[in-house]
Structures are given as structure tokens and as C-alpha cells.
A and B are shown apart, each in its own frame.
Chain A
């Protein structure tokens, strides 16, 4: 199916916001979260840029929007760069990780005898 990656990214974003409704961590209202996400986004451009420009990971053109961020004009880079969808993938993964981190922090703090 064409646009398969695009579709799964939409599902992942919906699941991420759905997970917050269940875990109620409040990350989206926290300044710490948004500042951290800005820092993470900067490093995502570097790391994902390297993965997709070299390339180490290659993408099937028909499976995503074909919108790419492009690469510096260096001889070591031979591919097209980060797909737009990777932004959603990264956002979903990092946000879910931070939500679970906050949630487990509260949960384990509520039962301190079990140790951290």
C-alpha cells in the first residue's frame, strides 16, 4: 500500500496523545518537556540526518510523502535525507518514552520499599 509509512505515523501520533489521556503525566503542559523536545529535535536532525543521508537506512519512495529535508553537499552523502515522516516517528517515540519515564517515576515513588 502506498503511503504506508505516512499512515503508520498518523496512527502513532494518535496513540501518543491517547496514551497521555490514560497516563495523565501532564507533559504537554510542562515547560521542561517542550524545552527538552527542542533539544532532542536539534540532535534528531544530526543523527537521523546521518542515518538517511549516508544512507544507513533507506526508504521506499512510494511509502512516504517524498518530502525530505535534504543533505549537505558532502561527498560522504549519497542519499536524499530525512523523510518528513521521521519527525512524527521521533516525536511519538521520544514523547512516549518521556511519558512512561514520568509515569514510572510516580508509580515507583508511591511504593518506595520496592526500591528505584
Chain B
């Protein structure tokens, strides 16, 4: 894996959640404007925190497990992290919203049958 390990982990997060959009049919990527504005509002704060944490020495990165591309002193992967993780969380949130009534009804039927 070497220098692609962190990138591969982020790619895996996107791959695992992709069926929520493609199969389950939640509309997250397809609301590009809403998603972009959400990622911007969240990203600004958390990238700032990440920069601060790196400057203050709260954390560091294993040099052999990141691509080596840095922007303002932070690995490229860290910026992607603040896009990928919110996207996955929003997909989960929309998937729960879409299915919660059906799952609830199914659980009630199961319990009622006992």
C-alpha cells in the first residue's frame, strides 16, 4: 500500500457508501449545490482546526503512508478527509431517513408476531 494507504482508506469509505446513492436512491451527490455548500461550511472550520492542531503539534502523519503532497503544511489526504467523512455521514443520514419507517414497521411486525 505504501504512500497510498491513507488515500485507499478514503476511497474505501466512498466505495462502501456509494450503493446508498446508486441502489437505495438517496439524493446526496445529485443535490450538488446543497452538498457543496454543506461541505464548505463544515470544511472551513475543521480544516482550520486541523491546521492549528498540526502547528501546535497535537498530531502528525506517518510519512511513508501518505502521498507526500502537502497544501499549507497539511497532507492532501487531510483535506479529502473533511470532504469524504461528511459525505459518508450525510449518505447514512439520508439512508436512515429513507428507510426508518419501513424498518420500524418490520420490527413492529416481528415483535407483534411473538
| Chain A complexes with chain B | yes
Binding site for B on A (CB under 8 A): 1, 4-5, 8, 12, 15, 31-33, 35-36, 39-40, 43, 47, 50-51, 54-60, 63-64, 90, 93-94, 96-98, 100-101, 104-105, 108, 114-116
- Residue A47 contacts which of B13, B45, B53, B93 (CB distance < 8 angstroms)? B13
Q: How far is the CB of B37 from chain A (nearest CB, A)?
A: 5
Q: How far is the CB of A37 from chain B (nearest CB, A)?
A: 8
A8-B52, A56-B9, A93-B46 are contacts. A32–B93 as well, Cβ < 8 Å?
A: yes
Complexed CA–CA distance, A63 and B58 (Å): 6
Chain A at the B interface: mostly helix, strand, loop or mixed? Answer: helix
A32 & B100 in contact (Cβ 8 Å cutoff):
yes
B59 & A59 in contact (Cβ 8 Å cutoff):
yes
Q: Which residues of A contact B41 (CB under 8 A)?
A: 96, 100, 104
Which one of B46, B49, B57, B82 has the greatest number of beta carbons of chain A within 10 Å?
B49
- Residue B62 contacts which of A43, A58, A115 (CB distance < 8 angstroms)? A58
What are 22 A-B pairs at a CB distance below 8 A? A1-B56, A4-B58, A5-B53, A8-B58, A12-B49, A32-B100, A36-B89, A36-B92, A36-B95, A40-B89, A43-B92, A47-B85, A56-B6, A58-B59, A58-B60, A60-B57, A97-B89, A100-B41, A104-B34, A105-B31, A108-B31, A114-B33
Q: Which residue of A lies closest to B100 (CB)?
A: A32
Complexed CA–CA distance, A15 and B33 (Å): 25
A98 & B58 in contact (Cβ 8 Å cutoff):
no
- Interface hits, B53-84 → A, CB 8 Å: 53, 56-62, 65-66, 82
